[in-house]
Chains A and B, each alone.
Chain A
């Protein structure tokens, strides 16, 4: 891991951190403790594996290092139980690393669980004071931003109602709203933007971006990869250790491609897909393309039973949120196939175009049997594809947008000064 020379300046430094947890049930009543201690005394010192890497313990994090600088957002992605929340708990000093150092400098706002400090019997307003204090705000500061907090949470008259009467969405909104009115140097966010309705989520994301532009260093953990892609500059794909680290799109690509649990070839059935190959029109393999690039996907099929009246499916997903970008395919007659026979090997080439915006996509191919309405086999991901461009902010389809000065459409609105060259 190359070290930057200005590493001492970074507000968030995670340096070679290892964290070990105990697996299984702990003796947490004296009744369990006494036999456990007795056994230990009788047997002498515990076997080495109980203290080391054996059955009793596991490493939740192995040698993880990163830095976050002011105005930078780092996204941490990975499957459930990969150690993401452990990193956040280490950053917020709730846990202590087994090895290595974790340091956060400056005022830290942690949105680990937005409603953790709420007390059900207190009103919304009382909880704002309490939660605000827990997050490190001064009472005066809270009083000053009180109206803003209430407005952002969109709670209206409910603010003086005990929180136990709130809907879960309401208390989550309130929790986020309090945290959003902190004035932190470092912001640590764990999966909290997934609360509330879409409009609220968007408002939260905008707020995070505002923080970033003000020079706050952000560490963001989420399963919503679109949000990670939208907020973060850099990313870490974590699975107890760093699998990929770098620009956020590289980390996302590594994550979505590293999850090969999706593979389903349908071996041993009527028809099987044995391979797929993505190339450009010259037959060169591609991984990342510009929007509008024509591509070819060559797919190999192996027929096990006689088959007719089927459909060759072709689906493009956006990998970061599994959104279906395109779902279609080609009928067998259109591909020049009436009936296929056992033992037959087919190689079909799908030609298509990538009118997509930047992001990470993958292609699934399948065979669909029309009379029985069943998928005979599925192959996913048949290929992964990155699209790179820097014109769009978000979205999925590249509409080839351009802009020129146009003649006014309405007759009474005359051009003030016609542009030259008309």
Chain B
């Protein structure tokens, strides 16, 4: 069992290394692409929400408010985008060689995590520029990240498997992820939304997670305990369900792909 775990880790690292190499091979910008997208989005939304209309972001300068949201959101969306296609684009391996298939969606998440870490340097630079000091609450950052990773892996496992059986999923995914972003407090504080819609938006586990980053990094407070605990619990449930279902279905992959 332990032996299998060790092999699993080696293999996961190999796949991650491959996916990283492929992602930036024959590109001039390389890791620059990991920074480019959130920066571009931040500029666009900053223009809209500071020049066109003003948003109350609770005292945080809008550009860093937006970037601190777009960065983890980008990590989430990219992870899932690569997860969705991870099994189908490796069909030669899925049908020809046996090894743990969850490696593919896992690698999709890990590679995106590396992009996330690179782009995080930009956030650090912005914090220096806006003179936002680091407080002890930054110790809570790994927990926020862990919750996000758990949720992302859970959803990624389910999506990769669903797309293997029904190729509609990857198209459907693009629609859902766009809507989902605006249903999450990525570029605006979600509490500005009122009425019945606010209650629906409360169910979205990504809002407490994204807001958690802002709390521990920019506001120097802990994440809102109630919603964050609920999001953490939901993440673990999704991960557990994803894992179990994935392993239940694994034997049908080679036949159905």
Contacts and interface: CB of A to CB of B under 8 A. Distances in A.
A110 B97 contact: yes
Nearest to A92: B98
B247 interface: no
Contacts of B166: 28-30, 33
Given A94-B98, A122-B18, A130-B14, A29 B254 contact: no
Contacts of B55: none
Residue from B21, B94, B96 having most chain A Cβ neighbours under 10 A: B96
B96 A30 contact: no
A408 B13 CA distance: 67
A93 interface: yes
A292 to B, nearest CB: 47
A130 B25 CA distance: 16
Nearest to A30: B168
Interface in B200-257: 251, 254-256
Contacts of B36: none
Interface string A5-40: 000000000000000011000101111010000000
Given A33-B166, A95-B251, A134 B11 contact: yes
B179 interface: no
Contact of A126 (B21, B94, B251): B21
Contacts of B168: 29-31
Given A110-B97, A113-B96, A139 B14 contact: yes
Contacts of A135: 97
Interface residues of B, number: 28
A135 B167 CA distance: 29
A277 B161 CA distance: 60
- Give the size range of A's interface with the partner: 20 to 34
Nearest to B256: A26
Nearest to A118: B92
A369 interface: no
A143 to B, nearest CB: 12
B163 to A, nearest CB: 10
A71 interface: no
A127 B29 CA distance: 24
A12 to B, nearest CB: 14
A364 B13 CA distance: 59
A190 to B, nearest CB: 9
A281 interface: no
Given A28-B166, A94-B97, A136 B18 contact: no
A31 B167 CA distance: 10
Ranked nearest first, the 7 interchain pairs of A and B with the lowest CB-CB distance are: A133-B14, A116-B96, A96-B251, A93-B98, A30-B168, A92-B98, A113-B96
30 contacts: A21-B255, A28-B165, A29-B168, A30-B168, A31-B168, A33-B166, A89-B254, A92-B98, A93-B98, A94-B96, A94-B254, A95-B251, A95-B255, A112-B96, A112-B97, A113-B96, A113-B97, A116-B97, A117-B97, A122-B18, A122-B21, A129-B17, A130-B14, A133-B11, A133-B13, A133-B15, A134-B14, A136-B11, A138-B7, A138-B10
Given A30-B168, A94-B98, 18 more contacts: A28-B256, A29-B167, A30-B166, A89-B95, A94-B95, A110-B98, A113-B97, A116-B93, A117-B93, A119-B18, A122-B22, A126-B21, A130-B14, A130-B18, A134-B11, A134-B93, A136-B11, A138-B10
